[in-house]
Amino acid sequence: MNTLYRWPYENEFGKRETVTSDVLVLGGGLAGCYAAIAAARKGLSVVLVEKGATERSGAAGSGFDHWESACTNPCSKVTAKEIAEAYIEEQDYYSNGIAHYIECREGYDRLLDMESFGGKVRDTEDEFKGAEFRDNETKLMFAYDYANRFTLRVWGSTFKPALYKELLRLGVKVCDRTEATALLTAMENGKKRGAGAVGMNVRTGKLMVFRAKSTILAMSRPARVWLFNPDLVGLCEFRPPQSIGSGHAMGYRAGIEFTMMEKSVKGEFSAAGRSFPPYGTGNNHNTWYAATMVDARGVEIPYVNRDGVELKTVSERYYPAPGQKFFLKGGVIDEAKYEYRGPETLDFQELMRRGYELPFYADLSRMPEMERKVIWGVMVGEEGKTKIPILQNYTERGFDPEKHMLQSYGTGWQSASFLGQERQLFGAAGGLMHDWDLKTNIDGIYGAGDQLYASDCCGFAAATGYYAGRKAADYAASAELAPIDEGEVEKEKQRLYAPMYVEDGMDWRELNMAISKAMQNYCGGVKCRELLKEGLDLLESYEREAVPMLSCANPHELMRTHEVLDILEVSKLILNACLLRESSSRPLCFERSDFPEMDPKEDQCFITIRQENGQVVGGRVPHGYYGDVEEEYEKRNQDYIAEHGKMYPSAKSR
């Protein structure tokens, strides 16, 4: 029998609260928290809006294990410019040069901030004293490239609670359990500018109106566009189910410009029915780098350097090849180009040719004790969704890394094989187009973290968050509040509440299922104009016919319904972006059967998309629009540079 529960929270449908601040931050993940902290440190009033609970929300809510590109840490042998430019080149210039440079230049400062908030960033208990990956003076621990030491192993499970406490200490008004749903804009001297946002309390239904001088979009990239499972919704994608790209949807509705939205990749991570819990199978990538892998017979799988030379020791897996200065590995970079390629196990096809037998396993028992303990205990343990789901659960099931080996599925760290039409916005996905202030095309509206185009990992989120917070604060310091259009607020309220008034209508899952099936059919591995147009036509029919039928019973279900409306908006954005690129592109994983030519010179650029008066407007921006990253950064950040030595004396300047 299915019990009917009385909704335990107050019914506040129809009530409205208006909150005013200098700076408004939408999204309380790493980027949003750091943005709020930066603005609050400048003495401005700050409001942060988070759909979940800031203490553990966002993609890094439960933790993360490594902090990439901390180039200014005292042990680093590389410069910020070197690594940022390597990323740009490695990604064939479909990379966010501005944001990557900010990450490389300021990321380590954010870790020092984190330490001052109470987060753990070094081996203070001397647990790994003497390990090859640890610097005995600073007690910092490094991952991947032990020679160049620019990626740090950190205790990320301590980070979100520490950030949350710091927000409260600084007097930031944190609105948890509040979804942001629409941006408010105003016309000023013939130009659009941000005026705030509308949202809803997802437990009570109260309408929230936020007025602010500047606004920072710090929400997630879109998800659940191609991949949906109505049974195990929480396992559909790699990121949390509420991180579905609402920031993209509201930005697109408001006229904000996006780029790289035509890029999607064949699914890599989806646990619903296909792959296993992330980081919970035998593999040797990312968190598990560079685990020893063996085949079914227990024969060790060789690691080779970029020149194909077999490596004899575990230690060698962490050093560049002869003649190579550094190598790149991490969230976005899996199989790097030759110039930046690090040690890797032999190619799968070659292993099959040589008679290696499936299944493969990760066998940590063969690794030196420190390497084993840091993979199983710190990396698996501090990485998001691993402390309880993997480390604790597997240990309770009897897994002992000295006695057991963990099975690998599929051929890589994806732990499953996907079909061409089962796609995701993974790797460096599309997002907000922005300038050197991380400002969008609308004055007073900034972006940070996963909402930016070609975003990356936690260091990226934290560094761009803090940077956007500074710039948005500077804008707010010299701006007045813009008037809000009550008609716009009323229209949004009607849109948000509508499904509460429909009886016996359609469940949000049915629409999500239909959208993802449509996207697989019309925006799969191979695309062409007619197919994309048919897809748009179908989605528009859903908008006309299915959306008015959506129905739900309480604010929680209403929040999920709003998410699907955003998924619908984002799907249209993606289809339109795909129509705008009339050629195919290898780095964008983009194949047009009607334009099969790969990466013609004239199309090697960022194609942008925005809406104006309901019409799609495309644009083109050259790859290197941001100029020399170091020079342009220094031109605009003299205030930060001047204080840097005093604020962060242990960090290198660049």
Of 292-311, which residues contact another protein (CB under 8 A)?
Answer: 294, 297-300
Query: Among 145, 262, 268, 363, which residue sits at the site for another protein (rule: CB under 8 A)?
Result: 363
Pick the closer one to another protein by CB: 172 or 367. 367
Q: Does 130 bind another protein (CB under 8 A)?
A: no
Q: Does 420 bind another protein (CB under 8 A)?
A: no
* 608 membership: H or E segment, kind and range: strand 605-612
CB of 550 to another protein, least distance (A): 15
Near another protein in 32-61, by CB under 8 A:
51-53, 55-58, 61
d(C-alpha 590, C-alpha 573), whole Å: 15
CB of 30 to another protein, least distance (A): 13
Pick the closer one to another protein by CB: 395 or 650. 395
Q: Does 389 bind another protein (CB under 8 A)?
A: yes
582-621 as b/e, with b when 16 or more CB fall inside 10 Å? ebbbebbbbbbeebeeeeeeebebbbbbbbeeeebeeeee
E strands within 438-557?
A: 445-447
CB of 35 to another protein, least distance (A): 18
d(C-alpha 534, C-alpha 511), whole Å: 17
Q: List the structure tokens of 340.
A: 């930046």
Q: Does 118 bind another protein (CB under 8 A)?
A: no
**Nearest Cα residue to 25 out of 175, 144, 163, 149:** 175
Query: Among 81, 177, 213, 644, which residue sits at the site for another protein (rule: CB under 8 A)?
Result: 177
Q: Which stretch binds another protein (CB under 8 A): 88-96, 477-485, 548-556, 614-622?
A: 548-556
Q: Which stretch binds another protein (CB under 8 A): 122-130, 400-408, 511-519, 571-579?
A: 400-408
d(C-alpha 89, C-alpha 95), whole Å: 8
Omega before residue 60 within 30° of 0, cis: no
3-state secondary structure 180-214: EEEEEEEEECCEEEEEEEEEEECCCCCEEEEEEEE
**Nearest Cα residue to 639 out of 123, 247, 106:** 106
Residue 390 near residue 380, CB atoms below 8 Å: yes
Query: Among 91, 215, 220, 281, which residue sits at the site for another protein (rule: CB under 8 A)?
Result: 281
* 217 membership: H or E segment, kind and range: strand 207-217
Q: Which stretch binds another protein (CB under 8 A): 36-44, 269-277, 424-432, 617-625?
A: 269-277
Q: Does 267 bind another protein (CB under 8 A)?
A: no
Written as one letter, the residue type at 429 is A
Residue 162 near residue 114, CB atoms below 8 Å: yes
Q: Does 544 bind another protein (CB under 8 A)?
A: no
Q: Does 7 bind another protein (CB under 8 A)?
A: yes
Tokens 């359990």, residue located: 177
Q: What are phi and psi of 142, to 5 degrees?
A: -115, 155
Query: Among 196, 280, 410, 427, which residue sits at the site for another protein (rule: CB under 8 A)?
Result: 280
Angle at CA 414, nearest 5°, toward 222 and 242? 25
**Nearest Cα residue to 318 out of 371, 383, 278, 378:** 371
For residues 488 to 517, the per-residue mask of contacts with another protein, x marking binding by CB under 8 A and - elsewhere, is ------------xx----------------
d(C-alpha 335, C-alpha 341), whole Å: 7
CB of 294 to another protein, least distance (A): 7
Q: List the structure tokens of 227.
A: 């991949």
Pick the closer one to another protein by CB: 318 or 522. 318
CB of 245 to another protein, least distance (A): 16
Query: Among 392, 593, 650, 653, which residue sits at the site for another protein (rule: CB under 8 A)?
Result: 392
d(C-alpha 150, C-alpha 77), whole Å: 7
Pick the closer one to another protein by CB: 399 or 542. 399
Near another protein in 303-362, by CB under 8 A:
312-316, 361
Q: Which stretch binds another protein (CB under 8 A): 34-42, 93-101, 228-236, 598-606?
A: 228-236
Query: Among 157, 464, 516, 576, which residue sits at the site for another protein (rule: CB under 8 A)?
Result: 157
Omega before residue 241 within 30° of 0, cis: no
Near another protein in 552-581, by CB under 8 A:
553-557, 559-560
Q: Which stretch binds another protein (CB under 8 A): 109-117, 209-217, 235-243, 252-260?
A: 235-243
